[in-house]
Amino acid sequence: MSTPNPAARVPLRGAVDLAAVAAAREAQAKAEERLAQQGGAPTSSALVLDVDEAGFQEVVDLSFRVPVVIDFWATWCEPCKALSPILERLALQDAGRWVLVKVDVDANPRIGQAFQVQSIPAIFAIVKGQPVPLFQGALPEPEVRQYLDELMRVAEANGVTGRIDPEGAVEGDAETVLDDEPVGDPRFDAAYDAIENGDWDAAEAAYQAVLSQTPADVDAKAGLAQVALLRRTEGADPETALAAAEAAPDSLEAQALAADLELLTGRVDESFDRIIALVRRTSGDERAAARDHLLGLFLLVGDDPRVTRARAALASALF
């Protein structure tokens, strides 16, 4: 998928299979109406919604028109009380460029489990039906804004440029208007379709075709990295992989697979730290291979403070 976000240079498939894209596309025209009917009443406007398990599919459908930001919270969570108002305020300020969805993890545990939420507050996004891990913990507003701005760039690169009309979306109003359906970059259509079909060979070929015309295309390179990650993790069980990594701390194969799965499920720092620790413990060809694997993960995550910190830690581990 064309360029990525704070947590993945391309929206990653495999961490959570949220919906069949074909079915979601068919439902796009009715997404907002169904969200109003089944997904819970808006808290302050149609830009800030409380959603439960029954209405979550409508959130996925809506993500084909505008980015959806998910705030996982609970009533007992003190940091959530600091972060949630920031997110709500920014959602209203951005006037329909994205929608904030609030999910109470106590009332809707299966949604939290699907995203493998380990602690709250945890903030994810959905773009074109694909999960996009953003950050965990209560961050100050300027940092939250940076993540949201990057998410908007990711969404635009993937052709998600609709807007909800906040003027016609007062509390309880079911008539929220969306802009015309955006058109994505047609150069990547074949790759997108192949990824949705799980055809990694065809996806690689499609991205390589783009690179043959524009060898420096960052989006195509990131797409190839995504396909490689999906191929490596296909059929892998996260619990089994993490247990194997714990049992074999010096195994590049075990640690690399565990790091891949951690990245897919939004545990970006843990993924990076795992491979950096392996770099510290190894030498020679194995160290070089571990470094190269980590550089590939950096490509997926892109321009993100976590990459900056991890690059500094990697340099320290190497030298």
Residue 52 is among the residues annotated as catalytic for this protein = no
Which burial class, exposed, middle or buried, applies to 219 when counting CB atoms under 10 A from its CB (0-12, 13-18, 19+)?
Answer: buried
Phi, psi angle pair for 292, to nearest 5°: -65, -35
Residue 128 is among the residues annotated as catalytic for this protein = no
Q: Where are the alpha helices (DSSP H) in 63-101?
A: 78-93
AA letter at 122? A
- Yes or no: say if 233 and 224 are a contact pair by the CB < 8 Å rule: no
Q: Which of 47, 80, 117, 126 is catalytic?
A: 80
Structure-token pair, residue 291? 């470094």
- Yes or no: say if 64 and 101 are a contact pair by the CB < 8 Å rule: no
Beta bridge partners of 99: 68
Closest CA to 71 of 161, 159, 137, 3: 137
CA distance 285 to 289: 6
CA distance 303 to 137: 20
Q: Which of 77, 160, 258, 276 is catalytic?
A: 77
Phi, psi angle pair for 58, to nearest 5°: -65, -35
- Yes or no: say if 273 and 312 are a contact pair by the CB < 8 Å rule: no
By annotation, the residues acting in catalysis are: 77, 80
